[in-house]
Amino acid sequence: MSTYRHIVGSEDPVTVNELPADRALVESLVSRGVIDRQVRRDLLRLLYPRKSTENLVLRSLLGLSAAFFLFGFSAILAANWGELGIMLRMGLPQLVFAASLGLAIYRGLDKFSGQLLASVAAFSIGGVLIVLSQEYQLNADAPWLFGRWLLLALPIVLVACYLPLWLTWITLLHVYVAFFLSEHIGGSDYFFEMNNWGMLSISAGFVGLRQLLLARTAGASRWQWLQPAWPRALLLAWIQNLCVIHLSFRYAELIFDGGTAAIAIMQFIDVAVLVGIHYWLRTETRFDIWSLLVSTLAIGVQLTIIAIISLAKVFEASDWDEWQLLFLLGALIAFGIFFGCTLYLRKIRNLKHTPAPSDDDQEPEPGSDTNHGAEDAP
């Protein structure tokens, strides 16, 4: 279309300085050696100003200010709680809930202020339940409180479509699972296993649900709020943290005390989860260097812990008293592993950022028709 306009003369010719620039052009200039990495960084900052980052910082400061205000207001209420009447003690949390919910509907849940007010309404449900259990001496335990809080706040979470509120609700669900299991099977040998795998299943389920919704409803405006990748990155980091903790404890038990086939199978599942997440992040179409960095770090930490536990077993079997040597060898192993992780990440980043050569950039092979034509030309 641009060439056609130049031919018919419908607009003025475009000079070199007016040519459109994008990331592909900048990367092409870097690959051809026209500009260096520092100039590339400056050009990308010029082409893609980080308005979203500035907006995120401002919203974070606003949320932090609101949290400090809420903390101060709560401290004043707690100091004078005994002097308030029962109607005021019961009505104040309900007033906060009703006012925040009404203002959220008035402002609109498509705006940040409305979503923030909906979050306040969801949090105030917990305050209403706490005051209710204290005033009427319901002897409510933690599972009772968190379970009803989850159920009553879920409609607000579903309607608000606000990622921080979703992540907070998922965190509250993890807390509920931990308290529920500690009350019913606390002290049992299976508590650690069920707690670990329960939290892991919750996080993995929400990551899979997000991927499914984005894949099945590609381009739908109603699911655009799920597009940011930071909640997925946090959940994946939490999953890998659970796997590292579980595998470290069970590997130490297997090495020093001997283990069963069930422990070996669970360790294999831990390794499969860590490797599977890393492979998924590496082969994903949209390259996420930060999530891949966390995944590589988790694998590096796990390899370091396994190596140190294995060395401790060797030292114990050999009756060596020089345990300072164990710390020295552990430090050297950790340095070597993380140095290898750094080189590995640099290699992956260079492979992802290097543009694939086009057909025009490839030189003709010897013996091709182009070379024959050049030789036959006078």
Q: What pLDDT digit, counting tens, does each position of 326-339 carry? A: 788 888 998 999 99
Per-residue confidence (pLDDT) for residue 177, from 0 to 100: 92
Give the contacts of 290 (CB within 8 A, at least 6 positions apart): 233
pLDDT of residue 302: 92
Phi-psi region of 15 (alpha: psi -120 to 50; beta: other; left: phi over 0): beta
The whole-angstrom separation of Cα 94 and Cα 125 is: 8
Quick: pLDDT tens for 295-323. 999 999 999 999 988 888 887 766 666 66
Q: How many CB atoms lie within 10 A of CB 303?
A: 17
pLDDT at 277: 92
DSSP state letter for 13: P
C-alpha distances (whole Å) from 293 to each of 208, 231, 236, 338 are 21, 16, 12, 11
In whole angstroms, give the CA distance from residue 100 to residue 124.
9
Which SS3 state, helix, strand or coil, does residue 227 take?
Answer: coil
Of residues 151 and 137, which shows the higher confidence score? 151
HSE (CB half, 13 Å, CA atoms) of 204? 15
Q: Report the candidate in 278, 279, 209, 201 with the shortest Cα–Cα distance to residue 242.
A: 201
- Is pLDDT larger for residue 31 or for residue 20? 31
> What predicted TM-score, i.e. pTM, was given to this entire model?
0.72
Alpha helix ranges (H) inside the chain: 2-8, 23-31, 37-47, 51-79, 86-107, 112-135, 142-160, 163-185, 191-216, 230-256, 261-283, 289-318, 323-353, 369-376
Distance CA 305, CA 302 (A): 5
Task: Please work out, in degrees rounded to the nearest 5, the angle formed at the alpha carbon of residue 302 by the alpha carbons of 299 and 306.
Answer: 140
Instruction: Render pLDDT for 21-69 as a digit per residue (tens, 0 to 9).
Output: 666 777 777 777 778 777 777 777 777 666 656 677 777 787 788 777 7
Between CA 264 and CA 269, with CA 268 as vertex, the angle to 5 degrees is 120
Which residues neighbour 344 within 8 Å (Cβ) at sequence distance 6 or greater? 296
Residues 6+ apart with CB under 8 A from 183: 141, 142, 143
Arithmetic mean of pLDDT over the chain: 79
CA–CA gap between residue 174 and residue 167 (Å, rounded): 11
Residue 244: what pLDDT?
Answer: 94
| Average pLDDT score over residue span 127-132 | 84
Other beta carbons less than 10 A from residue 145's beta carbon: 18
- Between 9-13, 89-93, 108-112, 146-150, the lowest mean confidence (pLDDT) is in 9-13
- Angle of helix 142-160 versus helix 163-185 axis, rounded to 10: 160
How many C-beta atoms surround the C-beta of residue 36 within 10 A? 10
